Amino acid sequence: MKKGIFFIFLLLMMIVLGGSSQVFKNSSNSLSITKDDEKEILKYLDTKTNDILAPTSGKVYSAFYILGTDNDKIYTWVIKKEEIIGSSVSLPVVLNVETIDGKIKVISHKFPRDGHDGAEDIKKLFPENVRDIMYDKNHNERIIQLQDIIENRIKQHR
């Protein structure tokens, strides 16, 4: 009897922990993101997203969290921070990608406008299941983790 209860407990823990991955898949055409893909995404965010936050007096660093994927899109939450002045931004960003030889190449990005238009943009840019993840109960914890990542990147650069 004790073995049966232990087995059920173990099975439930595997289901719970297995379902807490940082990448939320949202379609049958979901992309599988590798560590090399994550490096490509970070490089793109650091160098090709000055329209989100442009450097004025120092290097801008990025950190991101993958909210979900489709066959040609990666839905992310991004934080960018300038190292000297400390200007920063935190927002959802859609990365348009293509897969070449099994590797992801980011070709463009979109993000919601500020203000009143932003809510409508989010509805247009992000599927409902990704929107649900954006502001779930773990949102603040993810933001804190991203802020820590950026601070560590800045410290490593100094």
Give residue-wise pLDDT tens across range 1-29: 444 433 333 333 333 333 323 344 444 45
Residue 16 located in a structural domain: no
Residue 37 located in a structural domain: yes
Q: Give the span between the Cα atoms of 119 and 1, in whole angstroms.
A: 53
Residue 73 located in a structural domain: yes
Q: How many CB atoms lie within 10 A of CB 15?
A: 10
- As for how many domains the chain has, the answer is 1
Confidence at residue 114, expressed as pLDDT on a 0 to 100 scale: 92
Host domain of residue 150: 22-157
Give residue-wise pLDDT tens across range 102-152: 899 999 999 999 999 999 999 999 999 999 999 899 999 999 999 999 999
Residue 118 gets the label, from left (phi > 0), alpha (psi -120 to 50) or beta, of alpha
Residue 15 located in a structural domain: no
Contact at 8 Å (CB) between 91 and 77?
yes
Confidence at residue 29, expressed as pLDDT on a 0 to 100 scale: 54
pLDDT greater than 60 at residue 50: yes
Confidence at residue 5, expressed as pLDDT on a 0 to 100 scale: 38
Q: Give the span between the Cα atoms of 148 and 158, in whole angstroms.
A: 16
Q: Which one, of 146, 140, 143, 121, lies nearest residue 131 by Cα?
A: 121
pLDDT greater than 60 at residue 33: yes
Residue 62 located in a structural domain: yes
Residue 14 located in a structural domain: no
Residue 71: strand, helix, or coil: coil
Tokens encoding 139: 């949102």
Residue 71 located in a structural domain: yes
DSSP for residue 24:
-
Q: Using only C-alpha atoms, what is the Rg of the chain? A: 18
Residue 2 located in a structural domain: no
Averaged pLDDT for residues 63-88: 95
Q: Please classify residue 104 by burial: count the beta carbons closer than 10 Å to its beta carbon, then call 0-12 exposed, 13-18 middle and 19+ buried.
A: buried
pLDDT band at 86 (very low <50, low <70, confident <90, very high): confident
